[in-house]
Amino acid sequence: MIDNAAAGSPTSHAPSPTDAFLGDPAVQEQWDRRYAEREQLWSGQPNGALVAEVAGLTPGRVLDVGCGEGADAIWLANHGWDVTAVEVSAVALERATRHGRDAGVTVRWVHAELTEAAFAPASFDLVSAQYPALLRTSDAAAERALLAAVAPGGVLLFVHHAGVDTHPQHDGGFDPADFVWPAMMAALFDDDWVVEVDEQRPRVAPVGGAGAHHVDDVVLRARRLR
């Protein structure tokens, strides 16, 4: 794990090639390639569903899963949250840390796969996964890691593009069966959880960026009771 937020410092620095990535190098490489195709992949704006859902929450410790180029993490830090952001792509994380430094915010940037990051159980008041592209495994490791990270009383916010989970396999190699979708998360909530939001709604799309063509979101928000 890389903790780039030095105590007392509002800055963060980019991961260097010597930083130890915790995870499958093939997953990192795949995302690094995607990010390297453009100088900026996403819009640079926080996701609309995050902004809407966080509005009623008291800032605390938040984990941003698959933080990409850092717009959500930086927005959260600017709104009083103590932010940890985990990301597999070194290319994305370098951009995120640079944007964080430019914005003068403190974010703990972690270069790892969610399942390998070994976050302390129940250590976040909010776990936010915005279009997270988590790989599905038979033991539901990613889903369980998301659930385990939420503290009692805390919230899991899982947002995805509506309809993508039912797309036929794309020629480019994208197969929805490879990924974790909101319905899979919802199926894992037991009596310790209450679902507060589970709906499809028009996406408040940031201007620009590679995801601008998506129209609707599926928003799943659940609170851990104990």
Binding residues for ligand SAM, rule: CB under 6 A, are 27, 31, 42, 47, 65-68, 86-89, 92, 113-114, 130-134
Q: Which residue has the CB atom at the shortest distance from ligand SAM?
A: 66
Shortest spacing between CB 46 and ligand SAM, in angstroms = 9
* Cα–Cα distance, 44 to 168 (Å, whole number): 30
Would you say 178 or 192 has its CB closer to ligand SAM? 178
DSSP strand pairing (193-202 vs 124-130) = unpaired
Would you say 25 or 152 has its CB closer to ligand SAM? 25
Would you say 9 or 174 has its CB closer to ligand SAM? 174
Would you say 95 or 101 has its CB closer to ligand SAM? 95
Shortest spacing between CB 206 and ligand SAM, in angstroms = 8
| 106: nearest Cα among 125, 84, 135 | 84
Would you say 8 or 28 has its CB closer to ligand SAM? 28
Shortest spacing between CB 80 and ligand SAM, in angstroms = 20
Would you say 89 or 106 has its CB closer to ligand SAM? 89
- HSE-CB for 37 with a 13 A CA cutoff: 9
In the chain, beta strands by DSSP E: 61-65, 82-87, 107-111, 124-130, 150-161, 193-202, 216-224
| 184: nearest Cα among 215, 158, 203 | 158
